[in-house]
Structures are given as structure tokens and as C-alpha cells.
Amino acid sequence: MRQRAIWSAVLVVGLALAGCGSASDSGKSTSSDGKLVVWDWKSGEPFAKSYLDKAKADFKKKHPDVEVEFVAQPFDQYYTLLGAAIQSGKGPDVMLFNGGGQIRDRVDALVPLDDYVAEDKQRLAGWEAFAKDGKTYAAPVTLQGYPIYYNKAIYQKANLDPASPATTWDKFVADCAAIAKAGSKCFALGNKEGVGIQFWLSSMGSTTLTAAEYDAWIAGKRDWNSANVKRLFQTWKETGDKKMNSDGANSTAMFNDSFALFQSGKAAHVMGLMSDVGHWQDFNEFLTPEKLGVMKAPIVTAGTTPTLPYDGGIGYAVAKWTKDPKVAADLARSLSSADALKAFYADAGAIAADTTIDVSQAGPAVATIVGELKTGKPALHVALSSKTLDLMGRLSQQLLSGSVTVDEVVKQLAASDQAG
């Protein structure tokens, strides 16, 4: 622990010095032969090498004189360090952000990119997560979404057709009974941190809420007393009551114990991610691409259409204090150029923001996910405040253990949502 503290202190000081040095460098020189500094938490990883090489090559073509330096920061301190840089008004010219709250809280320090990235708008998806008040502040690199993965081998063992998983909730529950008979659990669930309910909410949202309710939820007008919102929590409780989840869900960590349960074939379904961890490439370590399926959410409320919930994952933004925003924006664009993103997709196993990338090599699961991006919508849980999410996590554990009613849950969540 102490060793770690010392090292991180050394790192912080070193990086701070590097940051200061570069800021003064770019201050001295003109934009054409200057130097751009990029902060992120990915460039140190081996899988990012070819991605960065491609992005640098693309940028070199446009600005051969400008040098680019990538500084990898530790992720757990990234926003703390960035906050210090923003306070002092000098730091990296280009920086990586998570979509959603992380970038929206800091747009004061960023340059709106709408004028520079107009050409990319069509090619890339996930812009909304980096936008605030109609202005875009970062070029998306990856997408993060919550598909439902299933294990085709278990379907076969349970005499179910792996090619056509259930499309309605009732059929799905019946399938789960068959899967239970074949000796497997229906869901691999890790709800120790209370994150399981977040994935549930987003994965099942499109088929439980009507389209109007869904859009209102994202827009911030959430009617917690509506029958369909309650239904979201009732189906969650049902999975607990009918023993559809893996044992001890409330003491199982989602990252990565629940994903391990799915990978090792102990459960037939998991609500996973598209990028970073708990996703198709992770699973492929034990589940071959042919065995891994991605299904649409089973329809709970008649008349709804399943859509894939996803948001922009990470993206590069340009700092206000950079010498020439045009050059920096070009670098951000190069970092989400087609070639670079293709390399990122291939090596890191992320679903890149570029929907034109050919993913047919990676197996049917990825093709299904990418195919659904066009109709996808923002995830429900991303719209909630961290306080409400924390409360929802605890209430979801109580729902599973049966110590609270659905009515009480929505009442508490409504109070927290309105207060926040």
C-alpha cells in the first residue's frame, strides 16, 4: 500500500512536471510546428499500440510538423488529476473522457467541436453522451451498451432452439424452467455492488416501458408510479422468486465473478457489456463465437419493440487553453478515424463508435450487436443520479431477499430522484 502510494506520488509529480513542460512548449511555438499533449488512461496498455499508431499516422498526414505526445494516467486518479489541470488552466491539449456525467460536468474547460467534426457525424455513433445543451464536446471512440448474451450450448442441452430465443417474457420464463431442469441457472447475476439492477433496468427497459415512457425517462420526466416502471422491478423480483438467478446473487461481485459464471457455462444468460470488460471478446476465452448468442430483450409489455440500450463509451475532447483548436480537433478526429477505430476494435475487443467497421470476422454475437446500433437508445440507468443508483442497488438486494415490496421501492426511488 505504502509502496503504491509512493509510486503514485512519483507518477503524479512526474506527470505534473511533464504537463507543465508541454504546456509551456506549446505556448512558445506556433501551431504549425508545435506539440500536442494527450491525456488518457489507455495508451499505456499493449492493446492500444496499433490503435495509436494508426491515429498518429492519420494525423501526421494532415499536420506533419506537429508532434504528439501521449501521457497515460492511472484511471483511478484520472479525473482528480484532470480537475487540477482544469483549475490551473493549463494541461493537455486533447484528453480522453467517459461519456455522460464525467464530460458534462467539465464542459466549461472544453472547446465545442461541432464545426470541426461535421464530416464524422454520420460515420460515428454515440455523440449524445458527449453533448451538452446541443453542443458536442468529444469525438466518440467506443460505445458502451448492455446486450443480453446467451449460451447456445445450454439451450441445446435444454432442448431449446438456440437460433430463436424467447421473444416474450412468459416464454422466456418457461425457457428458464427448461434450462433449470437441464441443470443450469437462467441468469448469471452479481448484485453485490447493486449494479445488477442497473443492467436489468437498461436491458429490459425497451420492452417494458412504452416508447413514450422511455423517451420521457431519458428526458428526465420519470413517472415512477406508472404500471410499467413498477413492472420493471416486478420482473426483477420474479427472477429472484423463481430462482432464475445464480445462487447468492447478493454476495456475488458482478466484476468479474458473475461473468465468470456465465463463461464457465453455469448459467445460460448474462446481461453484459459491449466494451472494456464482460463482453463478447472476454467470453470468447471459454465460449467459442459459435456458442455465444446475443438476444433481444423479451417483450414484457405488449406493443413494445426491443432496442439495444447504449451510450457513447469514451471519446477525445479538446481543451479550451490549447493554442490552435483546429489542430487539436484534427487530432481528436484522427483518434476516431476509421483505421484507428478498426485497430481498437480488433485489439481491445471494444465496439467502436464507427458503425461502418466490418465485424463479420468476430462471430455472430458482435454482428448482432452492431446491427442493432442503428435503432438503439440511451440506457435508462445512465440517466439516474449516482445517489438514486446507490439507493436502487440496495433496494434491489432487498427485492431479491424479499424484505421490501415493489411499491415501497418505487416510492423511495421517486423521492430520491426528485430530490436529486
Partner 1 sequence: MPIGNTQPSVRPASAGRAGGAAVTPAAHRSGARPRRTRGGLGAERYAPYILVLPAVLIIVLLRLYPLLLGVNFSFTGDGEQNGTAVGFGNYRELFADPLFQTALSNVGLLVLLLPVAVAIPGLLATFIYLRVPGHRFYRSVYFFPAVLSPVIVGAIFNLLLAFDGPLNAVLGSFGVGPVDWLGDPDIAMFMVVGVHIWATFGMALVVFLAGFATLDAALLDAARVDGATLRQVVWHVIIPALSRTIQFVFVTTMIGMLTSMFGLLYIMTSGGPEGSTYLPEFYIWKQQGQMNRPALASAASTILFMIMLVVGLLQIKLLERSGKED
Based on CB atoms, which residue is closest to partner 1, 132 or 394?
394
Question: Taking phi first (over 0 means left), then psi (-120 to 50 degrees means alpha), and beta for anything else, what does residue 133 get?
Answer: left
How near is the Cβ of 75 to partner 1 at its closest, in Å? Answer: 14
Candidate ranges 119-127, 246-254, 292-300, 318-326; the one touching partner 1 (CB under 8 A): 246-254
Amino acid 365 reads A
Closest separation in Å from C-beta 80 to partner 1: 10
Q: Return the half-sphere exposure (C-beta side, CA atoms, 13 A cut-off) of residue 358.
A: 2
Identify residues 393-412 at the interface with partner 1 (CB under 8 A): 393-394, 397-398, 401, 403
Dist. CA 63–CA 67, nearest whole Å: 9
Q: Which is nearer to partner 1, 168 or 251 (CB)?
A: 251
State the minimum distance, in angstroms, from the CB of residue 74 to partner 1. Answer: 15
- The SS3 call for residue 3 is helix
- Assess 168 for contact with partner 1 (CB under 8 A): no
Report helix, strand or coil for 20: helix
Task: Please tell me whether residue 251 binds partner 1 under the rule CB under 8 A.
Answer: yes
Could you give the CA distance from residue 122 to residue 262 in angstroms, rounded to a whole number? 36
Q: How many residues bind partner 1 (CB under 8 A)?
A: 19
| 171 or 387: CB nearest partner 1 | 387
Residue in 55, 82, 131, 249 binding partner 1, rule: CB under 8 A: 249
When binding is defined by CB under 8 A, the residue of 50, 77, 210, 250 that contacts partner 1 is: 250
Residue type, 246: S
Q: Which is nearer to partner 1, 261 or 341 (CB)?
A: 261
Three-state SS for 164-198 is: CCCCEHHHHHHHHHHHHHCCCEEECCCCCCCCHHH
Here the cell at position 197 is 439492477
Give the footprint of partner 1 on residues 186-215 (CB under 8 A).
192-194
Distances (CA, A) of 247 to 36, 241, 265, 309: 51, 12, 14, 27
User: Exposure of 244 by Cβ count < 10 A (0-12 exposed, 13-18 middle, 19+ buried)?
Assistant: buried
For residue 360, list its beta bridge partners. none
In the complex, minimum distance from the CB of residue 114 to partner 1, in angstroms, rounded to a whole number: 27
If the CB atoms of residues 80 and 225 are measured against partner 1, the closer one turns out to be: 80
What is d(CA 289, CA 370) in angstroms, rounded to the nearest whole number?
A: 15
Among 247, 358, 407, 408, binds partner 1 (CB under 8 A): 247
CA pair distance 125, 172, nearest whole angstrom: 31
Q: Interaction with partner 1 in 13-52: which residues (CB under 8 A)? A: none
Query: Could you give the dihedral angle defined by the CA atoms of residues 257, 98, 199 and 364, in that order, rounded to the nearest 10 degrees?
Result: -80
CB of 393 to partner 1, least distance (A): 8
Give min distance, CB of 98 to partner 1, in A.
Answer: 15
CB of 314 to partner 1, least distance (A): 20
Straight-line distance from the first to the last Cα atom of the chain, in angstroms, rounded to the nearest whole number: 36
Query: Rule CB under 8 A: is residue 248 a binding residue for partner 1?
Result: yes
**Nearest to partner 1 of 145, 196 (CB atom):** 196
Residue 60 as a binder of partner 1 (CB under 8 A): the answer is no
Shortest CB 394 distance to partner 1, Å: 5
- Piece in contact with partner 1 (CB under 8 A), picked from 20-28, 156-164, 269-277, 391-399: 391-399
Nearest distance from C-beta of residue 218 to partner 1, angstroms: 22
Write the binding mask 304 to 343 for partner 1: x where contact by CB under 8 A, - elsewhere: ----------------------------------------
Q: Which of 103, 258, 241 is nearest to 195 (CA)?
A: 258
Q: Which stretch binds partner 1 (CB under 8 A): 141-149, 152-160, 212-220, 387-395?
A: 387-395
Helix, strand, or coil here: 295? strand
Say what angle helices 49-62 and 325-335 make with each other, to 10 degrees.
140
Instruction: Give whichever of 196 and 376 is closer to partner 1, judged by the CB atom.
Output: 196
Q: Are 87 and 308 in contact (CB under 8 A)?
A: no
Assess 387 for contact with partner 1 (CB under 8 A).
yes
Binding-site ranges for partner 1 (CB under 8 A): 1, 192-194, 247-252, 386-387, 390, 393-394, 397-398, 401, 403
